[in-house]
Structure 1
């Protein structure tokens, strides 16, 4: 009968680790599976990221293209559909958006005109797109930037 005290893994499921440097009779003696000479045979060797054995690495074979602006401002995007979850007459600012779990508070907030707004809300955030501002005022709300 199979019990916890006589369980054993299936045959071949558990493998002994390779014990290197234990004499040439083991098959892993002398150079310990490292071969002769070269960087990989030495202690302290570590492969540089992207190294392809002397072949021109991929990051150098591909052409450079474009430009990344490191001073770009990234905004947390809020849509009109998300603003529609607030009750009518509410003041929607960064604090209210944080409490509602819509933003994480790490970036400045920008409202975009995605979706529809049916309630009159006062929006007080960092930026509001022109289309979003039009829709907010159309619904009876106001925009403060």
Structure 2
């Protein structure tokens, strides 16, 4: 079988509608489009989103700068400068920061950010570190340990 052999079955092709050619053609006068109005005119109908001249929905909505992430990762954050008040070579976790009063919420996992200076060696255990925070902690002689997000 070749592509040229694939033809419709005999008698299965429908003839095209001949509009406005008298009542014997089946679609005479108004061509099955009713009496008057915008949808009965030649040239089809309106474009998608047209609301009859009213300001359409796509123009009423504000223009978005970006799309928000659906499952965004949330963190309890603290800067390196706030860790400088802790005693040297102490272990820093979310629980220890809650006890020290440096963090008020333990709803989300801990992330350490790099704003400020640190000159005390600390053993920090957190779910995430910024690159500058990791560099400052290790430069002060401390260590960074990444925990799971649910720790």
> Could you say which TM-score interval applies, normalised by the shorter chain?
0.5 to 0.7
Residue 142 (structure 1) aligns with: 143
User: Offset at 1:129?
Assistant: 1.2
Residue 109 (structure 2) aligns with: 108
User: Offset at 1:91?
Assistant: 0.3
In 1, distance between residues paired with 2:115 and 2:92? Answer: 17
User: Offset at 1:102?
Assistant: 2.3
Q: State the SS of the aligned residue for 2:137.
A: helix
Residue 91 (structure 2) aligns with: 91
Residue 61 (structure 1) aligns with: 60
What's the RMSD between the two structures over aligned residues? 2.2
- Structure 1: give runs of 5+ residues left out of the alignment: 1-54
User: Offset at 1:94?
Assistant: 1.1
Residue 81 (structure 2) aligns with: 81
Give 1 or 2 for the bigger CA radius of gyration.
2
Q: How many residues align?
A: 90
Deviation string 1:90-133 (CA, Å, 9 cap, x unpaired) is: 00011111112222101111101100001001000111111111
In 2, distance between residues paired with 1:130 and 1:109? Answer: 15
In 2, distance between residues paired with 1:106 and 1:70? Answer: 19
Runs of 4 or more consecutive aligned structure 1 residues displaced over 6 Å after TM superposition: none
Q: State the SS of the aligned residue for 1:144.
A: strand
Equivalent runs, 1:1-12 vs 2, <5 Å? none
In 2, distance between residues paired with 1:78 and 1:122? Answer: 15
- Structure 2: give runs of 5+ residues left out of the alignment: 1-53, 147-151
TM-score, reference length from structure 1? 0.56
In 2, distance between residues paired with 1:69 and 1:135? Answer: 30
In 2, distance between residues paired with 1:129 and 1:69? Answer: 20
